[in-house]
Structure 1
Amino acid sequence: MPEQIPLNDGSAIPQLGLGVWQVDQDITAQVVGWGIEAGYRLIDTAEGYQNEEGVGEAIRGAGVPRSELFITSKLRNGAHRRDAALRAFDETMEKLGIEQLDLFLIHWPVPGQDKYVEAWKTLVELRQAGRIKSIGVSNFNQDHLQRIIGETGVTPVVNQIELHPQFQQRGVRDFHASHDIRIESWSPLGSGRLLGDPTIAGIARKHDKSAAQTIIRWHLQEGLIVIPKSIRRDRIAANFDVFDFELDAQDLQTIRGIDSPNGRTGPNPATASFLF
């Protein structure tokens, strides 16, 4: 089973979870149900994914206590103003059908609209009101983090960023560690393109595991929180079956060698300006 990773507010988060980005609302409840059946307890959604209702349905039908599940959602980019953020959060909670959210993140800083500090203050307010256990951010660069910490005195527990073997983000990890901010990897398989990488394939054969299992194991051994996504029942289960092997020092060094400064597959947080 995944380790429980301690957070800087005294809470803890399962190290391996199930992401539901691009999972159609019509199948989300079934997909999340398969995940819970396979052993996942961390479920990661967002307002912008438009499938929170499906996650809520899965929570109600899970057959496991709510206290065993760790549910994450994210504030949409167009709702950074306090009044809009409060309304959006109310909508999230109604769709999920739960009393308290385990983790709420600002999805993107969108620095061009310069409202992410106001959004962060609103998340702090919601946490103080007891509606959220933990608060964090997603896709924040170091300057964004420094600003919200400096203006509020509150440090995010998590920063969810694009991170995978071809984009290892080693340059930002020291800053996160020094502020006790946990890194959570989105697009952990490189949006699927790493599944055919010959270096990964060779290491996978060595351990009699799939490329996806090998990459997920790498994230775990790097101390990262990881949220792979699939809509196939067999792959959801296989992605959780990563606790019976370990990459050795040579494997880790080899994977380090495929890192690339040009490995990003998603938007750049410094310039991303889309609203949803």
Structure 2
Amino acid sequence: MSVFSPLISIHDASVHFASESEGVRKALNGFSLDIRPGEWIAVTGSNGSGKSTLAGILLGSCPLSQGRVIPSGRVVVRGVMQHPDAQVLGDTIEEEFHFVLGAIGLPADEFERRQHEALRRVRLPLPASTPIGELSGGQKQLLNIALALAVRPDVLVLDEPTAMLDPDARGQVLEAVREAHRDGAAVVWITHRLEEAAASERVIALNEGALAFDGSPRLFLYGAERPESLERQPSAGPAAPCERLALEPPFVVRTAAALLRRGVPLRELPLHADDLAKAVVPPCR
């Protein structure tokens, strides 16, 4: 398979639900998407835009009303959902791994190796005999990610995986997923936090079940790829795509935009806090 060929293609997908108040609700309507090997895609949008429906389609838990999902051969897809408890089946960490890895028939030594490696990667140094009931919400989410990584998926789907976590746990989740991405997994990270979308290579934005944006994080958050483009626009110029969808840009993006409006030159449009100071051009002496 070529690295340019999609792992999964979604063609003209629609998901319609019957609703007493609205009649037929269109959670997704005519949506298409190609997911290629090694991509990191952030999917965002307001509540009810269709993000979780897309996760369900990719994980096979949400049937289509119309359209097709076409995998390229045998594609392994694993998911991590917003609520950690919803994915817990066993009483201990080891039982959870048996549920997940037992389905693929690994020999005992390979089972032990993958379990140990997955827990190391998410920085969860607990004995395999640890009861699930003793884990915090953040630890359960890290365990869910470890279980997904142990399968070595081609596509890792994460539906708001940090929504209920504190900042430290969010950082651990993000780093664990980055390591899986470095190993070649395609990542579909569904989030309402635009600072998390900024960590991606490609942003997909949904609005009322339809594709509203598909492009780079900078274009989504700033409406431009380079600071010169914004410097040439009047202060009341066109809003960035995220703002047109009523989504507030991250603090770093708002700060950079404010600096540009005040005439402060920037080397580039920063996406992360670490990049903001580097982007500011020092005044000439």
Q: Normalising by structure 2, what TM-score? A: 0.35
Larger Rg: 2
